[in-house]
């Protein structure tokens, strides 16, 4: 219960961050497999489904807690739109691994993991600060 007597629900941010970290681990492993097979004839590059597909069923909606807040339509607050990217090229051997594309994906994983870690650290500090008060 909080100081106003309202029941405070569980905090799911840590569970969500943990799920994303596992997803990023799987994606990094898949990228490493693609790079390791860059010279294997007939090997087709693979990738995992984007993490936001997990969140598709739960669109983020803004809460209006004051009459002075702006009213936004569901389309303006929808965070589910994504773009699908195909492999850049297929070489004569039938291999579809593009090392440049795999390095870009690896950089994306690194950036996403750093963002995930920073959010968890900030949330952890916030929870500790509220527990001290």
What is the spatial distance between Cα 63 and Cα 71, in angstroms, rounded to a whole number? 9
**For the range 40-45, what are the long-range contacts, defined as Cβ-Cβ under 8 Å and sequence gap of 24 or more?**
40/95, 41/93, 41/94, 41/95, 42/93, 42/94, 42/95, 43/94, 43/95, 43/96, 43/97, 44/95, 44/96, 45/87, 45/96, 45/97, 45/98, 45/101, 45/102
Mean pLDDT within 24-45: 92
The residues spanned by each domain of the chain are: 97-132
Query: What digits encode the pLDDT tens for the residues 73-131?
Result: 555 444 333 334 555 566 677 888 899 999 999 999 999 999 999 999 998 898 888 88
Query: What digits encode the pLDDT tens for the residues 5-30?
Result: 544 455 678 888 888 999 999 999 99
């Amino acid at each position: 219960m909080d100081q106003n007597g309202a029941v405070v629900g569980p905090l799911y941010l840590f569970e969500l961050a943990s799920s994303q970290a596992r997803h990023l681990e799987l994606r990094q492993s898949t990228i490493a497999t693609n790079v390791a097979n860059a010279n294997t004839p007939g090997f087709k590059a693979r990738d995992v489904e984007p993490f936001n597909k997990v969140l598709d069923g739960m669109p983020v909606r803004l809460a209006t807690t004051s009459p002075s807040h702006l009213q936004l339509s569901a389309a303006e607050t929808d965070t589910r739109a994504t773009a699908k990217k195909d492999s850049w090229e297929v070489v004569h051997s039938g291999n579809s691994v593009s090392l440049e594309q795999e390095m870009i994906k690896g950089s994306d994983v690194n950036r996403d993991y750093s963002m995930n870690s920073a959010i968890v650290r900030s949330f952890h500090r916030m929870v500790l600060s509220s527990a001290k008060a």
